Structure 1
Amino acid sequence: MTQSSLKSFRDTVEAIVVALLLAFVIRAFVVQAFKIPSGSMLDTLLIGDHLLVTKFAYDLRLPSTVFLDTTDGKVLYTVSDPERGDIVVFKYPEDETKDFIKRVVALPGETLEIREKVVYIDGQPLDEPYVRHTKHTMEPVRDNFGPYTVPEGQYFMLGDNREASHDSRWWGPVKREKIVGKALVIYWSWGSITDVRFGRIGTLFL
């Protein structure tokens, strides 16, 4: 191998290593991609939407690796607290190998009650223009629920497609440390291979 070809080989290897390191840092600390597999968040999120989720919206955490298990993430710096209305990705409480996406509806210490499909927080009806009511697909029906006081450090999650969402009404609130990140933007969307929904690309969730 000549001197020039050796240098070219080293440059290529260095470029690959740098690219891999950047990809790891971005995925671990900055953003992660998710695909919407179900209709539980209709009409806000459609099946086939592809999202970028910001992982530092709430906490900057030490990432998990094959050498270090930090499933709950050691918090390096707290940025902000989740707010009502945020669309978040979190570890499914009944199987943490799965990620779920729902909307934060009730905060720590608040009392939530659902009466005839209307959500009340601390006795006050919640304005939810994003909610879709359809035919029930989840059993048992959860049109009425609570009252339930959310424990400290936990959040009550509901899907926008209320009658077709498996959410905190079934498996309880989500611990803050199980929240992966906050929905940021739709970067791709299609209903099928030939049906690209260009109008949804670039939709921001701020």
Structure 2
Amino acid sequence: MLQFLALNKQNTDTIQIQVLSNVQITKLMLKRIGYLILLIYSTIFLAVAIPYSGTYAIGGFLCSVFMLRILNDFIKWRKFENATLTASPSGVSIQTKNENYHFNAKDITYLEVNFFSNLVIRERYRSLGFPLMLVSNDDREKLIHYFYDMSPKRTVMFKKIWEMFDAILVAFILAMHIRQFIIQAYYIPTGSMEDTLLVGDHLLAEKITYGPTIPQMIGMKKPIHLSFLSIRPVQRGDIIIFRPPNEEEKDFIKRCIAVEGDEVHIDDGAVWVNGVKLDEPYVKGVTSYRGFSEKRIEGVVPKGMIVAMGDNRENSYDSRGFGYVPLDRIKGKAFILYWNTDNIKNLDFSRLGLIK
């Protein structure tokens, strides 16, 4: 229970609390259903964004609790429609359309505010819960303060715990949405992009330039790329974060070498696009198909696809191995390095700067 109350013998006045009108309660219910839909969406979204098997279980539990609260409020609404609660030194009375309830002050053992925000009035042999969620905030506070708090420290503790949980949950969901749609931090574990990016580099990738992508969730065949929100399309030379075809767990970082409609050939240790040899001063090693079973990217790049390669051409698994990268698999554009932690004892800020 969240709060234990008792009649305050020092009170000499009488207060009267009215349940909200049907129109107001209908709006309240629709608002709560909207919150429930948002919570269900957040659960599915987090389950996709965080590869943790317990996400659905935790989210499902929270959704179930919220649904129970909505159901409780609906049942109470039907019972206490247009009801009036009167509290006075003589006791507590509740008048509804069909029944009147009266609890004498001498018979009330205590009152409690439970998890479902019901004010439960308890006598020795009976009890009744009055729905606090169906009254205005001002009336709710006035009613609670009319009574004597039997355990103020407990009440303060519960309020702090709830406020902390609420703040953490909201902040976490917002952070995950920022991570998915705006900006995300990455760590470089391999040398496939040397010498542009080194092992241990930490960078930020922004997701605004190409437009955000809604991850694949329940009922979706594939991620949805919101290209109409993009600033510009992917261009040659961009360093991009993406997931290759048939890869659902690991993100790759490579450089875009060619876009849809470009004709690509690899010959003489270099990449040729539309008959012109690319000037790639950032490349380390020789560009070839050595180590790859077949030539996957020779010819015209199909619509909705790009070619991506690592700068360290002799030590990079890229489009030469997995083929073209669909645009809807691109997650963002790398734009800034903020430190290197190859040596765990030292944070190297000397590499701080924009990625080119």
The bucket for the TM-score relative to the shorter chain is 0.7 to 0.9
Distance in 2, Cα, partners of 1:146 & 1:5: 63
Which residue is equivalent to 1:123? 275
2:207 counterpart residue number: 55
Deviations 1:85-141 (A, max 9, x none): 00011112242222111000011010011221122110111111111117x9x6149
Question: Quick check: 2:212–2:331 contact (8 Å CA) kept in 1?
Answer: no
TM-score with structure 2 length normalisation?
Answer: 0.51
Cα contact 2:296–2:323 (8 A) shared by 1:
no
Aligned to 1:203: 353
Q: Distance in 2 between matches of 1:97 and 1:192?
A: 26
> Aligned-residue CA RMSD in angstroms?
2.8
- Give 1:187 shift: 2.6
Cα displacement (A) at 1:11: 3.2
**AA matched with 2:280:** E
Alpha-carbon distance in structure 2 between the residues aligned to 1:16 and 1:95 = 32
Deviation for aligned residue 1:203: 1.9
Q: Does 1:39 align with 2:191?
A: yes
Q: Share of identical aligned residues, percent? A: 38
Aligned match of 1:192: 343
> Could you tell me whether the CA contact under 8 Å between 1:113 and 1:145 is conserved in 2?
no
TM-score, normalising length: structure 1: 0.85
Match of 2:321 in 1: 170
Structure 1 contact 113–119 (Cα < 8 Å) conserved: yes
Relative to structure 1, the CA distance from residue 164 to residue 74 in structure 2 (aligned partners, 3 Å threshold; closer, same or farther) is closer
Q: Which is helix-richer, 1 or 2?
A: 2
Maintained 8 Å contact 2:195/2:311 = yes
Higher-Rg member (1/2): 2
- Secondary structure (helix, strand or coil) at the match of 1:191 reads coil
Aligned length: 203
Are 1:151 and 2:302 an aligned pair? yes
> Equivalent residue of 1:12, what SS?
helix
CA distance in 1 between counterparts of 2:205 and 2:335 reads 5
Distance 1:166 1:61, change over 3 A: closer
Moved over 6 A (4+): none
Which of structures 1 and 2 has the larger relative contact order (alpha carbons within 8 angstroms, sep 6+)? Answer: 1
Following superposition, the deviation at residue 7 of structure 1 comes to 4.1
**2:244/2:322 contact within 8 Å kept:** no
Equivalence map 1:86-97=2 (5 Å): 86-97=238-249
Deviation at 1:24, TM superposition (A): 1.9
> Partners in 2 of 1:122 and 1:155 — Cα distance?
14
CA distance in 2, matches of 1:175, 1:5: 52
